[in-house]
Structure 1
Amino acid sequence: MTAKWSTIDTIFGPFTVVVDSQGAVLASGWTAAADELLALIAESLRPHEIRKAADLGEVSRAVHRYHDGELDATAEVPVAQRSGPFREHAWRVLREIPAGKTVSYRDYAALIGRPEAVRAAATACSHNAAGLFVPCHRVLRGDGSLGGFRWGLELKRQLLDHEGGQR
């Protein structure tokens, strides 16, 4: 499969998105290096070739709109991630956490339907390849501290502030 990628300048720095031939996000994050994102894509979805595109249509527009303050702009953009049933379900649940709202890892595990699986819920966040489109930055530690984030804690703080998140 051939995929396309594009890097968009945002208020938080470069943001790169890799999309499949149907326009679903395979990976994304605050980096200018598309190659850095390829390693995050499940092997069954990983493209054999990627081509740079100046614009990714609706995906690029959604990224711009989010960073310009339309915080739900990425919610309807399709995402393609593969793993086991628990993790795939966990990623779908993450997409239901609205901008401006945060949850603890414990609350997130409960939303997934497995309140005892707090570590598994945290692991689902850490394996999320589609940053922003699957908003793992909205999950915090039980004490309200930031926890981890692939793109750095300072960026996680900035995203939550941008969204008016309650911590």
Structure 2
Amino acid sequence: MGTTPHPDTLLIAYVRGELAEGDRMTVAAHLAACAECTRALEDFQRILQDLGSSLPRPPEVHWGAYRAELREKLEARRQRAGGWQWLRRPLPVALSAVAAGALLILGLQTWIYRPAVNGDLALLEETVVASRFDLLRQYAVIERLDLWEDLDVVRRLEELSPRRKG
């Protein structure tokens, strides 16, 4: 055919019956008018038949024997599993993993945030030293030093010198 292109890529799909209805009708119309494509189609059919006949036939499947073999395998698997069968289920394994993770986190937190023994000894040591220097008796004055610093009283003590003339 002069104006219609040859459907070379569609011929094998046409032989195998894999084309959509519209494409199949287009190829059939072209084959009715084109002797060259008809010869190519016959060649493809002959090649596909030769290929199909050259393959060995698959063996027959005996479904009864297949079912019996599957049952034997399942029964053997059940007997092997025994007491460890619960490990194959995802829920107990997941719960065990969560519990182990929680225990690990709690253990790490108590180990990291445990109270420092040296801090308690330092507090005790400060108390003993302060009692020796009579600082605890004047604790109220020492406690107010921060307040006085905020009010600039302590910073301006130098300005309150007795050298003022007045």
Q: Which protein has the larger Cα radius of gyration, Structure 1 or Structure 2?
A: 2
The alignment's TM-score, normalised by the length of structure 2, stands at 0.18
Structure with the larger RCO, 1 or 2 (CA within 8 Å, 6+ apart): 1
Q: Which has the higher strand share?
A: 1
